[in-house]
């Protein structure tokens, strides 16, 4: 039977065979989006900041600006990923673990349609060393899919920006399921 089918196909003139192959290729290409998995939806909470450096100079305003930029960079970087969909959290006050708590943020994330929640904290340990601690929580199981601490050098806009970009890249590549 198989030989008969092959003979039938190969017995067609070349123009018909190439047209048939092209038609099959177009049909598969058009149907592919239907096969593609839905993107993973992640809600991103704002990151908290803790300064344990003991520096005398008040840098609250600088750190607040850097923290806002870090939050924006992480959200925008994750939003740029093709396999992810990001949703903001609706909070009256700050949307951080320190302000709202994990349970409240998890509820808000589920209400926003997220399957995962990113939470974190920036810790300044000294003038030279800082760290970004973050976790991604699977909202179906209420368990972390990853829990990381990334250290970085410096307390500058550039150092914080690089830390944010690296954290977002790590979340996208290693902490969330890939469809």
Q: Are residues 53 and 85 in the same domain?
A: yes
Q: What is the mean pLDDT of the chain?
A: 86
- Domain check: are 140 and 67 in the same one? yes
Summarised one tens digit per residue, pLDDT across range 2-34 is 454 444 545 555 554 444 444 444 444 444 444
Same domain flag for 117 and 30: no
Number of domains in the chain: 2
- Residue 28 sits in the same domain as residue 79: no
| Claim to verify: residue 49 and residue 106 sit in the same structural domain | yes
Residue 45 and residue 21 share a domain: no
Q: Do 29 and 45 lie in a common domain? A: no
DSSP states of the chain: -HHHHHHHHHTS-HHHHHHHHHHHHHHHHHHHHHHSPPPEEEEEPPPEEEE-S--SS--HHHHHHHHHHHHHHHHHHHHT-TTEEEE----SS--SHHHH-HHHHHHHHHHTT-SEEEEEEEEE-SSSEEEEEEEEEETTTTEEEEEEEEEEE-SSHHHHHHHHHHHHHHIIIIIS---
Same domain, 67 and 20: no
Q: What is the pLDDT of residue 10?
A: 52
Q: What is the mean pLDDT of residues 59-82?
A: 97
Residues spanned by the domain of 22 = 2-35
Q: Are 81 and 167 part of one and the same domain?
A: yes
Are both 28 and 44 inside the same structural domain?
A: no
Q: Is there a single domain that holds both residue 31 and residue 90?
A: no
In percent, the amount of the chain with pLDDT more than 70 equals: 80
Of 11-15, 81-85, 101-105, the poorest mean pLDDT is in: 11-15
Q: What is the CATH number of the domain that holds 145?
A: 3.40.50.10610
Residues 59 and 76 placed together within one structural domain of the fold? yes
């Amino acid at each position: 039977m198989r030989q008969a089918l092959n003979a039938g196909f190969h017995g067609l003139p070349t123009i018909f065979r190439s047209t048939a192959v092209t038609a099959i290729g177009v049909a598969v290409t058009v149907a592919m989006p239907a096969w593609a998995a839905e993107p993973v939806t992640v809600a991103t909470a704002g990151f908290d900041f803790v300064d344990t450096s003991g520096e005398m100079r008040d840098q609250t305003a600088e750190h607040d600006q850097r923290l806002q930029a870090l939050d924006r960079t992480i959200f925008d970087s994750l939003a740029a990923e093709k396999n992810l969909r990001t949703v903001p959290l609706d909070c009256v006050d700050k949307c951080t673990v320190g302000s709202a708590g994990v349970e409240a943020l998890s509820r808000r994330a589920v209400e926003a349609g997220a399957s995962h929640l990113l939470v974190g904290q920036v810790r300044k340990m000294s003038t030279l060393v800082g760290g970004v601690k973050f976790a991604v929580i699977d909202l179906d199981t209420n368990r972390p899919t990853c829990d990381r601490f990334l250290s970085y050098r410096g307390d500058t806009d550039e150092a914080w920006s690089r830390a944010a970009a690296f954290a977002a890249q790590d979340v996208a590549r290693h902490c969330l399921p890939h469809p």
